[in-house]
């Protein structure tokens, strides 16, 4: 098929058969819709660029460090601190650190952050350790040990700035080791793998992570006490619960050891998790002294946790861009959760209604939503939750293709990496399904094997951005043309 820019206007005496006109129209509509979806997604990503957000939120006024967001304002007198140290972890943390360096410059005494491999930015005052994600590795431990060292050396005259974004749970890992409970990196990796494949939500996963860690669940703040701690947080968690973002490094933990053990039982992991992990969780359940610090702990008297970026902000920017492109736009929610393939059915039902003339949103329509879904792994294929959602959407199109005329769907991870792949997500449309079939690709086989990456790759429907150095959950963009 010719590329769009190679097609020349038809002359008066060169009218092709109707089927050719229809094919040409559908092809160009699909290309336009995908381009529009990418443009809308880019607007969302630009709104939650970590560097810009820090520069907007952080400033120095009359020797006071001022943090100001739409919802809160803090002022810290820099004259009261002899040292300023910077810590942190997450996929977006390198760009956050670069902005902090721009604001504070030589006032920074030392610092180190942990980021996912490749998610870096040039820094001059703050060190960077690249580590494993979604599974922690030796560098995750090295980064945590270095940050605990710096935090433990802090005193009343130290300001500890902590930069937190999604992915911090894996990137900053320090196995719990006290008394008879001595966990290893292998224990943490095995537990994380089981949890990620169980269908557990990120909140449930983090409930366990906090209780088997020596740094999460508020324990980094405990290491830094009695220093003043200022945490700047970019949310990758549905609902923006601070204790769940990077497993709450500087946030009191409302979850108990009993809550963590309940997650184990809920997903029937009690006989599958490492015995040392099971032993520690049961001990935490029975002995509060082994539990994470709670909201009444004096550790948090001098801790300020400030949320600076969210999925809702990204969706608002997407809405504005979609309306600029001429779409009637509806934002559903920033808190969509559930099995990816089941949520795909939800979006596909909305698409069918809109094509059929439903009044919820006039055509051309753009329906936006965000959140974070899960995938229960049954096969040995390659992919991520957004790619699986796109393939599941294609499965719905396959049931009745005529109901999806003019529909394009994109599901994408805002960090640029959907699962352990180099793609952010994937597209779905009737034309993509036709391409897949012509390449002898089976939607059902891809879903059965959790092999969404290879299916979408073969259909030319992967969405690749490269590492975005931000992370505010996922975005879904549904376009329906008139």
The rounded distance, in Å, linking the Cα atoms of 356 and 149 is 61
In sequence order, what E strands does 123-157 have? 127-131
Write down the pLDDT at residue 12. Answer: 32
Backbone dihedral region for residue 50 (phi beyond 0: left; psi -120 to 50: alpha; all else: beta): alpha
Round to whole Å and give the CA distance between 63 and 110: 20
Among 130, 127, 108, smallest CA distance to 119 is for 130
DSSP state of 199: T
pLDDT digits (tens, 9 = 90+) for 391-409: 999 999 999 999 999 999 9
Helix 275-286 crosses helix 257-266 at what angle (to 10 degrees)? Answer: 130
Given the candidates 3.20.19.10, 1.20.1510.10, 3.40.50.300, 3.40.50.10180, the CATH classification of the domain at 50-174+213-255+292-309 is 3.40.50.10180
Q: Given this model, what pLDDT does residue 5 score?
A: 35
The residue extents of the domains of the chain are 18-47+312-480, 50-174+213-255+292-309
pLDDT of residue 300: 96
**Residue 28 has what pLDDT?**
57
Quick check: helix, strand or coil at residue 387?
helix
In this structure, whether the domain defined by 18-47+312-480 belongs to CATH 3.40.1480.10 is answered with: yes
Q: CA-CA distance, 145 to 51, in Å (whole number)? A: 26
Both structure tokens of 152: 């433990």
* pLDDT (0 to 100) of residue 71: 84
pTM listed for this prediction:
0.79
Stretches where the chain sits below pLDDT 50 are 1-26
| pLDDT, position 206 | 87
């Amino acid at each position: 098929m010719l590329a769009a820019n190679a097609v020349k206007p038809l002359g008066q005496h060169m009218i092709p058969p109707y089927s050719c006109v229809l094919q040409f129209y559908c092809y160009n509509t699909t290309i336009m819709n995908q381009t529009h979806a990418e443009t809308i997604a880019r607007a969302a990503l630009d709104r939650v660029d970590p560097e810009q957000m820090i520069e907007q939120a952080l400033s120095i006024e009359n020797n006071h460090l001022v943090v100001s967001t739409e919802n809160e304002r803090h002022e810290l007198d820099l004259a009261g601190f002899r040292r300023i140290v910077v810590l942190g972890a997450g996929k977006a943390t390198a760009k956050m650190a670069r902005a902090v360096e721009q604001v504070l410059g030589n006032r920074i005494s030392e610092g180190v952050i942990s980021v996912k491999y490749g998610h870096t930015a040039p820094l001059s005052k703050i060190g960077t350790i690249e580590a494993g994600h979604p599974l922690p590795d030796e560098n995750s431990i090295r980064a945590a040990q270095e940050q605990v060292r710096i935090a433990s050396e802090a005193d009343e005259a130290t300001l500890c700035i902590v930069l937190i974004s999604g992915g911090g749970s894996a990137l900053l890992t320090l196995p719990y080791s006290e008394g008879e409970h001595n966990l290893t990196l292998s224990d943490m990796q095995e537990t994380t793998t089981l949890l990620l494949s169980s269908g557990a939500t990120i909140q449930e996963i983090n409930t366990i992570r906090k209780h088997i860690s020596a740094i999460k669940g508020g324990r980094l703040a405990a290491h830094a006490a009695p220093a003043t701690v200022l945490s700047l947080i970019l949310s990758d968690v549905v609902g923006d619960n601070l204790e769940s973002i990077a497993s709450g490094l500087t946030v009191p933990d409302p979850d108990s050891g009993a809550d963590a053990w309940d997650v184990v039982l809920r997903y029937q992991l009690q006989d599958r998790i490492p015995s040392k992990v099971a032993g520690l969780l049961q001990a935490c359940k029975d002995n509060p002294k082994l539990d994470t610090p709670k909201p009444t702990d004096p550790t948090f008297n001098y801790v300020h946790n400030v949320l600076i970026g969210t999925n809702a902000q990204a969706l608002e920017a997407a809405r504005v861009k979609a309306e600029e492109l001429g779409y009637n736009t509806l934002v559903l929610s920033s808190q969509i959760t559930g099995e990816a393939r089941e949520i795909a059915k939800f979006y596909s039902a909305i698409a069918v209604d809109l094509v059929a003339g439903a009044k919820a949103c006039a055509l051309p329509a753009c329906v936006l939503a965000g959140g974070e879904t899960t995938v229960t792994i049954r096969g040995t294929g390659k992919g991520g939750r957004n790619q699986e959602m796109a393939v599941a959407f294609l499965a719905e199109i396959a049931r009745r293709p005529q109901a999806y005329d003019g529909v394009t769907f994109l599901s994408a991870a805002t960090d640029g990496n959907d699962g352990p792949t180099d793609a952010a997500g994937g597209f779905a449309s009737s034309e993509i399904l036709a391409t897949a079939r012509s390449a002898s690709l089976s939607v059902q086989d891809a879903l059965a094997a959790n092999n969404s990456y290879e299916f979408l790759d073969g259909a030319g429907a992967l969405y690749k951005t490269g590492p975005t150095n931000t992370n505010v959950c996922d975005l879904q963009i549904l376009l329906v043309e008139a």
